[in-house]
Amino acid sequence: MAKVHVVTPEKADKGALPQGFSGDGEVQTYLEGDKFPLQLHLHRLASGQSLQIGPLPVECVSYVWRGDAEAGGRPLATGSSIIVEQGQTITVKGGADGAQVLAFSSAEPLEAQTTGANVHLLPADQVPRTADLGGHGVKGAMHADSDCPTCNVWLHENRFPPSEPLDEEQQKRGIHSHSEDEIIFVIDGEMRLGNRPAGPGTAIAIAAETLYSFSPGPDGLAFINFRAAQPSEIKFANGTSMSETKYWREALPRPEYLEPVA
């Protein structure tokens, strides 16, 4: 398995719905368990089309990337998210403009996986956000912080202002690794991985303990970051480290989810 696996929109396969999903619309497969321990699919729903998520043997967190949707009687604009715990189901419908919905999950159940009984909905206007995440104009938002009593998933959002290409010394300062497998999905702008640009709709799968760095492009950068379990350490190439969970919890309160309307 490659330690860094980049999938552009053109390389994401169009095909059948993955196991545990049913309904209408088109699907693109970015990552499945044969290539990486985490999975990512993009579901395209026209207005009125529906997608049933679950039941699944793992937790699934979905993100409304473009357009608008409805689930469980709740409107979900661009930037909203849904957590479907093990064994549960929810039907997502495309809104007036249709919807592009990302679905993240682990390829295999985690050893410490809890058996949940809930579906959590987080409309975009209720996502905890900060306009100052560590300075330098970086914004952050928290969709799933692994602190739910019945689910383990993590999904955060970052937005960076425009940047000129970094010199070699600046790139070295940003080299780091995470203690868990992760998927980064570029939702807007451009991410530079070294000299390689990654635009909107690109997924970057990075294996645990893999050193890497990135910088924003000339139009800025926005991405979401998924883990199947609670993050622990960020380790830098210079030998220092920090608690990623503590960093985020000091910056933002935990999300307050809505439940589907009966």
Interval 159-173: pLDDT, tens: 999 987 766 676 677
pLDDT(228) > 80: yes
Q: What does the alpha-carbon distance between residue 106 and residue 237 come to, in Å, rounded to a whole number?
A: 27
Mean pLDDT along residues 214-233? 95
Q: What does the alpha-carbon distance between residue 185 and residue 80 come to, in Å, rounded to a whole number?
A: 15
Give the tokens for residue 260. Answer: 């589907």
Residue type, 96: A
Dihedral, CA of residue 180, residue 130, residue 118 and residue 201, to nearest 10: -60
Interval 125-145: pLDDT, tens: 999 999 999 878 999 999 999
pLDDT(45) > 80: yes
Give CATH 2.60.120.10 domain extents, the chain: 12-126, 129-251
Q: What does the alpha-carbon distance between residue 160 and residue 4 come to, in Å, rounded to a whole number?
A: 21
* pLDDT score recorded for residue 112: 65
* pLDDT score recorded for residue 46: 98
The CA–CA distances, whole Å, from 203 to 33, 65, 246 equal: 15, 13, 26
Over pLDDT 90: what percentage of the chain?
A: 83
What is the CATH code for 12-126? 2.60.120.10
Mean pLDDT along residues 100-109? 95
CATH topology of domain 129-251: Jelly Rolls (2.60.120)
